[in-house]
Structure 1
Amino acid sequence: MRLATVSVDGRARCVAVLNSGARLDVALAARDVAGPAGEALRTGSLQALIEAGPGAQAALAALVAEAEGGRHGGAMAPGGAPLMAPIPAPRKNIFCVGRNYAEHIAEGDRAQKQNVGVTEHPVFFTKPPTALVPPEGDVLVFPAVSTAIDYEVELALVIGKGGRNIPKSAAYDHVFGYTILNDITARDIQRRHGGQYFKGKGLDGSCPLGPWIVTADEIGDPHALSIGLTVNGERRQNGNTGDMIFDIPTLIASLSEGLTLEPGDILATGTPSGVGYAMDPPRFLKDGDVVVCEISGIGTLRNPVRAV
């Protein structure tokens, strides 16, 4: 399933995107679904659906199958309803991974004239919920704050079943689905603060997310997806998720060591090479640019850039 959140009359509504592109309003379609599953679906919240677990998700899958067959025609969301971030208000910071593609590490080391290389363990940082940007929403640049705003297309996973000290062998049991994240980064701020990631990657408007979450059962192998990014139609990044240094089970196992992951938590898994700061000369985002992220099996995430 492709599950998204749209804005209808100023309210967030969870929808399932059908093969035709029509959007099934989950709360409306679930009017006659009994029990806890129906209660969760009728909230109209994707977060609530994730928290409700397999029973509610199976009930929704049945509704989607019926809608694909022509039923629930009166439960469609307005076609022009704008997409929000799939989880518009995450309960925690968004987890991210740095330096997880070898060619990206190499280009960064060259640009900074250093030789850090591959780390022994994953490098984690976070982005605050205030950084979130919906599909077609503005990536913000603050000329008085930073003159080096960069992009990073990333595969992000969404936790379905919570847990702590999750073993690699059980990691995929905890994945609800996958989406696209653009890790917008103020490189000068990142360097100014000793190379720590949070401040330079946590500005408002620095985390486009979407366009929807594709449930894990639809992605056969999350390490066999093409991943890329264009700026104004020019190809900048072009890679494959199979090139990750630390794979998804390793990331989940490492992050959950002594740290509880909860339903709805988001984890971005790193970016391939082709970022702006590693070019000669560097090429950063500017007012009026349009950035498009693409991951096979998921779709595209498009965002314009606006100076404020």
Structure 2
Amino acid sequence: MKLRKVTAIITAAVMMMSLAACGSSDKEGGSDGGSSSGGSINVISREEGSGTRGAFVELFGVEEEVNGEKVDNTTTDATVTNNTSVMLSTVAQDPNAIGYVSLGSLSDDVKAVKIDGAEATAENIESGTYKISRPFNVVTKDGLSEAAQDFLNFIMSSQGQEVVADEGYIPVETSTEYSASGLSGKVTVSGSSSVSPVMEKLSEAYKELNKDVEVEIQTSDSTTGVSNAIEGISDIGMASRELKDSETSEGVKATVIATDGIAVIVSNDNSVEELTSDQVKQIFTGETTSWDEVTK
């Protein structure tokens, strides 16, 4: 009887220790929705061809040149999302996640961390304090239709750039005034999911002045937008990066319509408020894999 009682006590003690260990493990992994300190970092990236990804890996040094070729060293453990909205929702729902989006696409569902002590704001980009920025380009070929050229004229006018500023981006300096053209027709625009939100606002403002012109916007990624402009599938391509030499050699040109920042984002449940550029690089190349390495 005594032996059975001792055995039962030992078994109960082992079970209690196991349960306590499981509870501790859950907290470290962030599965309880609390602080992610000590948990594994879940890297969320955009897909290849994304202008935001291209600019991000270049600006943070995640991309390097090897034998004359640019190599993207984003960790193979990264979860890949195919547009801005999916990036935002993925990071928002995961306390251990880190990702990046266009500054103009930020929402209250996520938190933009400071980089090298600077907040991600349009004012800080303009002053040069926040250095993680890139151009928003429209991509065109010679021989645009009258309607497409008129829409482009509106975008680059003071009225168009006022829309750009209202959406939280840095406008292009211009003194050109736009007057309604009285044209009719259809303009097709395709490409970057980062440029698309401001392009939607620009098209709405344009159509208020030109009710007989239809502007059709198809959202994908920068590379597709450039390719569509080259092939004549779209009148105007959208790219949230500079054009490559191989693209300009195909007869297209880029026109900057705004400057945008790239915000590094985490969940609102993540306690991290600030990172250095080097820390971001180390996280996205897979050198740093846990939040305790960042917060210690």
Instruction: Determine if the TM-score, normalized by the shorter chain, exceeds 0.5.
Output: no
More strand by share: 1
RCO higher in structure (CA 8 A, sep ≥6):
2
TM-score (norm 2): 0.23
More helix by share: 2
Larger radius of gyration: 2
TM-score (norm 1): 0.23
